[in-house]
């Protein structure tokens, strides 16, 4: 694998700053896609910014629908999702393997992975942090 | 031995609960389950921000209950760190791309593919490999069940199958052979020992419930 440097961040601000300041820096969340793509040479970041510890894990339902944190794990197991959004839960359960699902995040998914049809069918919107738009 | 899978189950639920409550730091440290210096990554407690240059760097991994100082580069996968740096070669490299499950280990009680994560990302986490399952000479119930059910041929997939089997039971996904098949779907066996693997996991799950 091509060498790169690495920073683990604990605030959204440092995450955004590091990646905005360096065109060759990229985020890594669960790593399930990134590690493979770097290993295969399909991506060649010089710097990886590990956002796995950011406080973006929450999934909750409100009047305006379901909000899923970019780093949410196991959304399919969430009681609110199982009860109120069973198709989403089933679509997520049908993907990947239990091991991969334990690592990957919802935020890493629209970036590279396949998006379950149910996201699209339910009028999914992705909120982007200012200047965090680069993949 | 049953204690082991119960412990895994407790780790799971305690962690899930604590991180939801946002209390992982204080409570986990009080429970003595995490090293004081580097609390769990991915929990709500932060491993201090640190930048590592592309070359080797010294860090500590906690594997099977003990801290190991290792020299690894940011690009070193957890799998390579375990096998090449720590000499824990029980964890196998099959596809090296997340598809076969031979490299399955537990990170903070949850099963993951060690080929898909970087060692640096697991500072502060509690890693369990196949070498950490047995209690001295006493096999873990899932290991014992694999022996009794002849649940392997070449044995290459076996450590990953066993790690996954312990997790399937701890997760409560071992209620029936169908359920075990579904939840073991991340572990491929080229020899096709599946019927015996499913039987072994079901057996260990039943024994655990007794
Ligand atoms: C064996 C295997 C099977 C799979 N099966 C499926 C499947 O069935 N269905 C499916 O949908 N996907 C599948 N995937 C792909 C999977 O969805 C993605 O790997 C996963 O969603 C990526 O999440 P991650 O946190 O691991 O992302 P990473 O690998 O950490 O990152 C992926 C990309 O997203 C970017 N990124 C991550 N988080 C953010 C963020 N918060 N903001 C901006 N950018 C971000 C990273 O920079 C990177 O470019 C599979 C992958 C593997 C290895
Ligand atoms: S070696 Fe990791 S899944 Fe195959
Ligand atoms: S026993 Fe040979 S691959 Fe499973």
Which pLDDT score is estimated for A74? Answer: 80
Higher pLDDT, A60 or B164: B164
For B147-160, what is each residue's pLDDT tens digit?
A: 999 999 999 999 99
Residue whose CA is closest, atom 36 of ligand 1? A108
Neighbours of A52 (CB within 10 A): 23
Domain with CATH 1.10.150.120 in chain B: 134-210
pLDDT of residue A57: 86
Task: Report how far residue B81's alpha carbon sits from residue A6's, in angstroms, rounded to the nearest whole number.
Answer: 16
Q: How far apart are CA A135 and CA A126, in angstroms?
A: 14
Average pLDDT value for residue range A5-16: 96
Look up residue A40 and give its DSSP letter: T
Instruction: Kindly state the percentage of chain A with pLDDT values over 90.
Output: 55
Strand A59-62 and strand B104-107: the pairing is: unpaired
pLDDT above 90 (res B74): yes
Q: Decide if pLDDT at A109 tops 90.
A: no
Kindly determine whether residue A6 and residue B47, on different chains, have CB atoms separated by under 8 Å.
Answer: no
Which superfamily does B57-132 belong to?
A: Beta-grasp domain (3.10.20.30)
Q: Do B54 and A48 touch (CB under 8 A)?
A: no
Least confident of A85-94, B22-31, B99-108, B154-163: B22-31
Query: Which residues make up the CATH 3.10.20.30 domain(s) of chain B?
Result: 57-132
Q: Is the CB of A107 under 6 A from ligand 1?
A: yes
Query: Complex ipTM, two decimals?
Result: 0.85
3-state class of B112 per DSSP?
A: strand
Say if B25 is an interface residue toward chain A (CB within 8 Å): no
What is the structure's pLDDT at A124? Answer: 55
Is pLDDT larger for residue A127 or for residue B130?
Answer: B130
Q: Which CATH architecture best describes the domain B134-210?
A: Orthogonal Bundle (1.10)
Chain A CB within 8 Å of residue B185 CB: yes
**Nearest ligand 2 atom, CA B188:** 4
A111 — pLDDT class (breaks 50, 70, 90):
low
Cβ contact (<8 Å) for B112 and A99?
Answer: yes
The answer to whether the CB atoms of A103 and B53 lie below 8 A apart is: no
The stretch B101-123 carries a mean pLDDT of 98
pLDDT at A103 over 70: yes
Residue pair A6/A20 in contact by the 8 Å Cβ criterion: no
The answer to whether the pTM exceeds 0.90 is no
A108 class by beta-carbon count within 10 Å (0-12 exposed, 13-18 middle, 19+ buried) = buried
User: What's residue B203's pLDDT?
Assistant: 98
Average pLDDT over residues A87-105: 92
| Residue A98 pLDDT > 60 | yes
Domain borders along chain A are 5-50, 59-121
Residue B27 has pLDDT above 90, yes or no: no
How far lies B179's CA from each of A99, B98, B157, in Å?
A: 16, 21, 20
pLDDT at B3 over 60: no
Ligand 1, atom 33: closest residue by C-alpha? A108
Q: Is the pLDDT of residue A113 over 70?
A: no
The residues on A that touch B, with CB distances below 8 Å, are 1-10, 14, 28, 30-32, 35-36, 38-39, 48, 50, 52-53, 55, 57, 96-100, 102-103
The nearest alpha carbon in chain B to A99 belongs to B112
- Mean pLDDT confidence for A3-29: 96
Q: Is the pLDDT of residue B143 over 90?
A: yes
A5-50 CATH fold: 3.30.43
pLDDT at B101 over 80: yes
CA-to-CA separations, B176 to A114, B101, B159, B198, B204, in angstroms, rounded = 30, 21, 22, 9, 12
Tell which of A32, A35, A59, A113 to mutate to test the B interface (max B CBs under 10 Å): A35
**Whose structure tokens read 């290991």?**
B143
Ligand 1 mean position to A104 CA, how many Å? 6
Residues β-bridged to residue B63? B66, B127
Residue B93 in contact with residue B158, Cβ under 8 Å?
A: no
Shortest Cα distance, chain A CAs vs residue B144, angstroms: 23
Determine the average pLDDT of the residues in B66-94: 97
Q: How many other CB atoms sit within 10 Å of the CB of residue B87?
A: 10
Of the listed ranges A99-108, B113-122, B160-169, B170-179, the one predicted with least confidence: A99-108
Which range among A12-26, A57-71, B8-22 has the greatest average pLDDT? A12-26
B46/A6 Cβ within 8 A: no
């Amino acid at each position: 694998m091509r060498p790169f440097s690495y920073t683990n961040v604990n605030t959204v601000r440092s995450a955004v700053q590091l990646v905005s300041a360096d065109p060759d820096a990229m985020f890594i969340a669960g790593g399930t896609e990134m590690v493979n793509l770097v290993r295969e040479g399909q991506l060649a970041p010089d710097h990886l910014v590990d956002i796995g510890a950011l406080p973006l894990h929450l999934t909750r339902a409100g009047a305006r629908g379901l909000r899923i944190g970019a780093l949410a794990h196991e959304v399919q197991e969430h009681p609110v999702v199982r009860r109120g959004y069973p198709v989403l839960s089933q679509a997520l359960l049908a993907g990947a393997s239990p091991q991969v699902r334990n690592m990957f995040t919802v935020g890493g998914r629209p970036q590279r992975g396949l998006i379950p049809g149910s996201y699209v069918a339910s009028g999914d919107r992705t909120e982007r942090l200012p200047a965090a738009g680069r993949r | 031995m049953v204690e082991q899978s119960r412990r895994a189950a407790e780790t799971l639920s305690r962690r899930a609960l604590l991180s939801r409550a946002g209390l992982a730091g204080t409570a986990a440290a009080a429970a003595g389950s995490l090293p004081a210096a580097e609390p769990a990554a991915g929990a709500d407690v932060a491993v201090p921000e640190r930048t590592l240059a592309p070359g080797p760097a010294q860090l500590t991994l906690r594997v099977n209950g003990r801290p190991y100082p290792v020299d690894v580069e940011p690009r070193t996968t957890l799998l390579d760190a375990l096998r090449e740096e720590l000499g824990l070669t029980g964890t196998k490299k099959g596809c090296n791309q997340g598809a076969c499950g031979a490299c399955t280990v537990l990170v903070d009680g949850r099963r993951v593919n060690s080929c898909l994560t970087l060692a640096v990302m697991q500072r502060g986490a509690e890693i369990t490999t196949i070498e950490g399952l047995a209690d001295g000479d006493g096999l873990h119930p899932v290991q014992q069940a694999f022996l009794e059910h002849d649940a392997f041929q070449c044995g290459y997939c076996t450590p990953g199958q066993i790690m996954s089997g312990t997790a399937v039971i701890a997760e409560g996904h071992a209620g029936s052979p169908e359920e075990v098949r579904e939840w073991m779907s991340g572990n491929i066996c080229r020899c096709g020992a599946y019927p015996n693997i499913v039987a072994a996991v079901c057996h260990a799950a039943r024994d655990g419930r007794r």
